Amino acid sequence: MALIKKVNGISPLIGEDCFLADNATVVGDVVMGNKCSVWFNAVIRGDVHSIKIGNNVNIQDGAIIHCTYKKAPVNIGDNVSIAHNAIVHGCTIESNVLVGMGAILMDDVYVEENSLIAAGAVVSKGTRIKSGEVWAGVPAKKIKDIDASLLDGEINRISSSYNMYASWYGNETE
């Protein structure tokens, strides 16, 4: 069973139809919407500020969601994929966004809707990524505008697929 822990008297609020892997960790001031999934070894740590997560969000294996004490909360919209080993720290991500594997988003980053952060990208503190942009590199920079095939073929496909994957786990214990 996932570790769901109260911190400073505040317990996480988990929406309906969510999947939390056995060793996922969700602590403190976290509000998660419906049909979300938090995968193996992922950590959502709302101990120093609030974390708000919309509906249909998947936080994949080894990802870390955290904040900066009294300065930078995390806000994540709907239909967002935070890929394996990504770090989302003290920033805002609007809806329909893919954060690639191993990407790092620093404090005060703002990602507008329908955007993609490539695998391994490091998005520097205070960066604003406009709607429909693709960013990559270290430090991350805009490399192109998103097209319909990338929006449907990656962002929407991955988000939908994780609902299907979560359904495979059901309530089995073995």
Dihedral Cα 159, 160, 161, 162, nearest 10 deg: 60
68's CB contacts (< 8 A; 6+ apart) are 48, 49, 89, 90, 107
Q: What is the pTM of this model?
A: 0.95
CATH class, domain 3-168, is mainly beta
Burial degree of 134 (CB within 10 A; 0-12, 13-18, 19+) = buried
The rounded mean pLDDT for the chain is: 95
Give pLDDT < 50 ranges for the chain. Answer: 172-174
What's the pLDDT score for residue 149? 85
CA 105 centroid distance within chain: 10
What's the pLDDT score for residue 171? 53
Whole-number Å distance between alpha carbons of 124 and 149: 27
What's the pLDDT score for residue 172? 45
What is the domain partition of the chain in residue ranges? 3-168
pLDDT in tens, 66-99: 999 999 999 999 999 999 999 999 999 999 999 9
CB burial of 37-67 (b: ≥16 within 10 Å; e: otherwise) equals bbbebbbbbbbbbebbbbbbbbbbbbbbbbb
